[in-house]
Structure 1
Amino acid sequence: MDIEQVELPTTTVAVVHERVPMDALSAFYDRAYRQVQETLGAAGVPPTGPAIGWYGEMPSDTADVAAGFAVPPDAVVDGLELLTLAGGSAVVGVHRGPYDRLPDAWSTVVAWCREQGVQGRGDFWEEYVTDPDPGGDPEQNVTRLVLPLL
Structure 2
Amino acid sequence: MSDHTTVTVPAHILVASRETIPTDNMTGYFDGAFTRALRAVRSVGAEPAGPARAYYFSPLTDSVDIAGGFPVAEEHAEALTAAHPDLVHRIPEHEALVRRHTGPYDGLTAAWQELSDHVRSLGRPTGPVFWEEYVTMPTPEADPAEMITDLYATLA
Output the TM-score relative to the length of structure 1.
0.94
Q: Measure, in 2, the Cα distance between the counterparts of 1:131 and 1:21.
A: 23
Structure 2: segments with no counterpart, 5+ residues:
none
Per the alignment, in what secondary structure is the counterpart of residue 42 of structure 2? helix
Which residue does the alignment assign to 2:114? 108
Distance 1:117 1:70 in 2: 30
Cα deviation, residue 148, structure 1: 0.8
**Structure 1 segment 1-150 matched on structure 2, within 5 A:** 2-74=3-75, 75=77, 76-77=79-80, 78-79=83-84, 80-150=86-156
Secondary structure at the aligned position of 2:95 is classed as: strand
Contact kept, 8 Å, 1:12 with 1:82, in 2: the verdict is: yes
Q: Deviations over 1:121-142 (max 9, x none)?
A: 1211100011112142101110
- Helix, strand or coil: the match of 1:37? helix
Query: Percent same amino acid among aligned pairs?
Result: 31
Q: Distance in 1 between matches of 2:95 and 2:39?
A: 33
More helix by percentage: 2
Cα contact 1:98–1:141 (8 A) shared by 2: yes
Q: Deviation string for 1:72-125 (max 9, x for gaps)? A: 224222234211222121100000011111110000001111111112112111
Post-superposition CA distance 1:46-74 (Å, at most 9, x none): 11011010011112101100010001224
Is contact 1:58–1:122 with CA below 8 Å preserved after alignment? no
Q: Name the CA distance, whole Å, in 2 between partners of 1:140 and 1:120.
A: 29
Q: Given residue 72 of structure 1, which amino acid in structure 2 is its aligned partner?
A: A
Amino acid in the other structure paired with 1:46: E
Of the structure 1 ranges 7-16 and 37-46, higher mean CA displacement relative to structure 2 is found in: 37-46
TM-score, normalisation: structure 2: 0.91
